[in-house]
Every structure is written in C-alpha cells, then in structure tokens.
C-alpha cells in the first residue's frame, strides 16, 4: 500500500512532488481525474464523495481551483476538494494553501501566518476559499501541515511566466509602480522541498508555514529574469486599477486582473523562520536562474 497519496498529481506542483517523492523512495499513489506519471493511480471524481481509503498514509493535497475572479463555484470547489482529500486516510495531512489568504489590498511586509483573517477585503474567490479550506483542517484537530507559498514559478509554469510574456510581447513591459515592489516569490523546487520536509517532519497538531524563496527581489528583477531585456513602463497602481475596473466589464479584458495589479503593485514579504526551524526548510536563492537559464 502507498505510504504517500497525492491529489492534483498531474499539475505543475503535484507532478514535481510525485517525482521527488519517488526519488526519495516513497511508494506514491495519485488520486484524481487524470494521472501525471506512471505511479499507481486511482481515478476519482471528488464531487461524487466516494473516496478510496489508504489507512494511515500521508496525504499531500495539491488539487485546487486556482482561477481568478469571483465565483461561488471556485469557493465551493476548493472546500469540497479539501473535504474529499481529508477522507483519503487518517494519516498526516499536508495541505498546499496560498499566500492569497493574506490581505492583498495593501502592502504586506514580513507577514506572519497568524495575520490571515476573513476581516479584510479579499480581491477574488480564491483567497477566502483557501482560508476556509484551512479551517476544515484546523477544525478536525488532525496532524497536518498547511503550506502557504507566494506566486509559485518555475520552468513550465502556467501563470507567472506566461502572464509576463503576454504583457511584454511587444518589447515593452508595463508593470504597476514600474515593478519596484519587493516580493518573496516561491520557486517550485523550493516548494517541493518544503513538502518533502513536511512529510519527514510529520509534526503533531496543525502547523501553518509560509513557504517562499529566502530572499526578496523586485517584481522588475523577477520579470526581466524571466523575459530577458525589455523596456519597463511605469504604470501607477491607481491608474492601472481604474483601467482594470473598466475593461473587466468589456469583452476585451485587461492583461492584468485587479487582483494581480494589487498583488504585484505592493510589497509582499513573508516570515519563513518557523519553516526553517520546525521543518528544516532550506530554500535555495537561485530559483530564477534555474527556471530561466538562457535569459
């Protein structure tokens, strides 16, 4: 029987997690609608509520609805997916959450895990749905690790680099505040490392961790690392938000959503010391160079 079960194993993070677990000698099983590798796979529709049982296996829950915008469907999906994943075993549970649970409407510096709250204005359905999913885990008082990465990137990602390429396709890269906001992004390799650390640590109780790269860099630096030389156009955040609010109601959408503008227009740094102390998390600082070596 598997000692580790992964949901969302065909996704950007999940597929890399499965590969790393196998390399570490784990017997891995994927559960979901489609497989991302040749490990044992159980095809399961999470919406049907009939889940296979894996005893005391560790469950790593990567499956999620990550779409932007407001939708009850997104909120319900992430809660339902988490509830279903919790029914796979009674072993340790590792939940891939997100820094979107924090207040993105203003700058956040050295953000601590206890700063997450429902008492501030969320900018889309994803953040509150992930925070509500965390609440399910906390309410069960089950041994679990909740990991909150910020803006995960890496070779082959479907969000970070493609968005930048779309913005800079004419050689000019318009960025809110000129890309001068400082961020701790999360290289996918560091996130996978954190997941394996959580598997090995198997801490008792529910423990929540920020997971990011060790150093903060500007959005501009990250963007140019991904794209190569571009002329950066400074777009004031307030002006960009006004345009986004108008174009979001038209058939022609703005290139950056309201959420993305506020996220990348303000500083976003996080306290990762608990992860380094309790999980043994040792992130590398060269994620951008590894992801985009030819730039």
Q: What is the pLDDT of residues 259-277, one digit of tens each?
A: 666 678 889 999 999 999 9
CATH T-level topology, domain 4-157+185-212+269-289: Rossmann fold (3.40.50)
More confident residue, 88 or 71: 88
Of 26-35, 168-177, 243-252, 265-274, the poorest mean pLDDT is in 243-252
**What pLDDT, on the 0 to 100 scale, is given for residue 252?**
43
In this predicted structure, the answer to whether residue 47 has a pLDDT above a threshold of 90 is no
- DSSP string for 117-149: -SSS--SSSHHHHHHHHHHHHHHHT-SEEEEEE
Work out the pLDDT band at 251, boundaries 50, 70, 90.
very low
**What pLDDT, on the 0 to 100 scale, is given for residue 242?**
64
The torsion angles phi and psi of 24, rounded to 5 degrees, stand at -85, 0
**What pLDDT, on the 0 to 100 scale, is given for residue 169?**
82
Strands 182-183 and 217-218: antiparallel
Helices 72-86, 126-140: inter-axial angle, 10-degree rounding: 30
In percent, the amount of the chain with pLDDT more than 70 equals 87
- Residue 2 CA to residue 18 CA, distance in Å, equals 12
């Amino acid at each position: 029987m598997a000692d580790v079960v992964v949901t969302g194993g065909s996704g950007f993070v999940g597929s890399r997690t499965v590969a790393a677990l196998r390399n570490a000698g784990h017997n891995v099983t994927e559960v979901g609608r489609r497989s991302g590798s040749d490990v044992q796979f159980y095809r399961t529709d999470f919406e049907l509520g009939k889940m296979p049982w894996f005893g005391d296996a560790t469950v790593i829950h990567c499956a999620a609805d990550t779409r932007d915008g407001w939708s009850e469907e997104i909120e319900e999906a992430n809660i339902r997916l988490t509830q279903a994943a919790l029914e796979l075993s009674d072993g340790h549970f590792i939940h891939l959450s997100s820094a979107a649970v924090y207040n993105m409407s203003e700058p956040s510096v050295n953000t601590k895990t206890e700063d997450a709250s429902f008492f501030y204005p969320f900018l889309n359905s994803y953040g509150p749905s992930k925070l509500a999913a965390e609440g399910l885990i906390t309410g069960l008082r089950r041994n679990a690790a909740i990991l909150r990465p910020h803006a995960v990137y890496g070779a082959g990602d479907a969000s970070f680099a493609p968005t930048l390429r779309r913005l800079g396709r004419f050689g000019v890269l318009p960025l809110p505040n000129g890309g001068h906001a400082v961020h701790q992004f999360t290289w996918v390799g560091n996130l996978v490392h954190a997941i394996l650390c959580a598997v090995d640590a198997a801490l008792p109780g529910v423990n929540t961790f920020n997971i990011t790269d060790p150093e903060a860099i500007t959005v501009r630096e990250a963007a140019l690392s991904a794209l190569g030389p571009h002329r950066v156009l400074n777009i004031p955040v307030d002006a960009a938000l006004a345009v986004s609010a108008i174009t979001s109601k038209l058939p022609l959408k703005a290139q950056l959503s309201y959420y993305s503008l506020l996220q990348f227009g303000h500083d976003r740094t996080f306290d990762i010391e608990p992860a380094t102390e309790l999980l043994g998390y040792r992130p590398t600082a060269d994620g951008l160079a590894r992801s985009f070596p030819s730039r």
